[in-house]
Amino acid sequence: MWKLQGIRIAADCLFEEDVALRLTPTFFGIKPGKIALLSGAKLSKGCVLDCFGGEISIGANVFLGPYCVLYGHGNISIGNDCLIAMGCKIIAANHTIAAPDALIRLQPDIAKPIVIGNDVWLGADVKVLAGVTIGDGCIVGAGSVVTTDLPPYSIAVGSPAKIIKQR
């Protein structure tokens, strides 16, 4: 296990080039986050894991395809043996828009945890939004946007993602 200031990486994890692990951007004044990568995790070219003060936990034998982005404001937990295809975005926060007379960029974020179970497959370019739980054994079709929880062994597609059948 390799450890450094909030980052823990199992010795047999693999990284391709241009992978970024960020605890927090200091100019935002956010408390440092944490990243944990368990045994056998593989991060492909161009992956970005950015805590923004939250925690990101990647289970054993998880594959993150090229150019995946995880923003962990509200915490992200990915179980074991998951396949996260290229271009997926997992974003555990959103902007509020409650005050129409205030600039959106100046309104606070709402951070909510994302939990992805074991043996989950997210197809290419899937987006998972804040507050979602994806149960064990789920499959989400390419290009889908997951806005609500998916029970275990569901197959879902679309924007927003809808369950089309069970495994």
Q: Catalytic positions, please?
A: 95
Give me 159's structure tokens: 């924007």
Decide: 114 and 76 in contact? Cβ < 8 Å: yes
Measured over the CA atoms of residue 23, residue 49, residue 134 and residue 73, the dihedral's sign is positive
CB 35 within 8 A of CB 7: yes
Query: Please, what is the Cα angle at 37 between 25 and 124, to 5 degrees?
Result: 85
How is residue 150 annotated by DSSP?
B
Tokens of 80: 């074991």
Report the candidate in 68, 41, 69, 73 with the shortest Cα–Cα distance to residue 55: 73
